[in-house]
Amino acid sequence: MRIDIITIFPDYFAPLGVSLIGKAAARGDITFGVHDLRDWAHDVHRTVDDTPFGGGPGMVMKPEPWGDALDAVRALGAVPEAAGGSGLLVIPTPAGVPFTQQHAARYAAEPWLIFACGRYEGIDGRVADDARSRMRVEEVSIGDYVLAGGEPAVLVMTEAICRLLPGVLGNAESAADDSFGFGRLESGGPMAGLVEGPSYTRPRLWRGREVPPILLSGDHAAIARWRRDSALRRTARNRPDLVARLAAGVPEPLDRRDREVLSEAGFPVDSEDVAH
Which is closer to ligand 6GU, CB of 52 or CB of 251?
Answer: 52
Look at residues 81, 160, 158, 76 and name the one whose alpha carbon lies nearest to residue 117: 158
Which is closer to ligand 6GU, CB of 141 or CB of 179?
Answer: 141
- The window from 2-10, 135-143, 185-193, 199-207 that contacts ligand 6GU (CB under 6 A) reads 135-143
Amino acid, single-letter form, for residue 171: N
Catalytic residue, chosen from 4, 110, 151, 178, is 178
Which residues lie across from 84 on neighbouring strands?
Answer: none
Amino acid, single-letter form, for residue 234: R
Residue 143 is a binding residue for ligand 6GU (CB under 6 A): yes
CA angle 142, 147, 150 (to 5 degrees): 65
Residue of minimal Cβ distance to ligand 6GU: 92
CA 243 remoteness from chain centre: 21
110 is catalytic: no
Member of 141, 158, 179, 230 binding ligand 6GU (CB under 6 A): 141
- DSSP H or E stretch at residue 8: none
Look at residues 43, 15, 13, 7 and name the one whose alpha carbon lies nearest to residue 120: 7
Is residue 265 left, alpha or beta, with left meaning phi > 0 and alpha meaning psi from -120 to 50?
alpha
190 is catalytic: no
- The window from 23-31, 51-59, 142-150, 258-266 that contacts ligand 6GU (CB under 6 A) reads 142-150
Asked whether 179 and 194 are in contact (CB, 8 A), the reply is: yes
Member of 1, 34, 78, 93 binding ligand 6GU (CB under 6 A): 93
Number of residues that bind ligand 6GU (CB under 6 A): 12
178 is catalytic: yes
Which is closer to ligand 6GU, CB of 119 or CB of 259?
Answer: 119
- DSSP H or E stretch at residue 44: none
Catalytic residues: 94, 121, 163, 178
What is the contact surface with ligand 6GU in residues (CB under 6 A)? 92-94, 141-143, 145-147, 149-150, 153
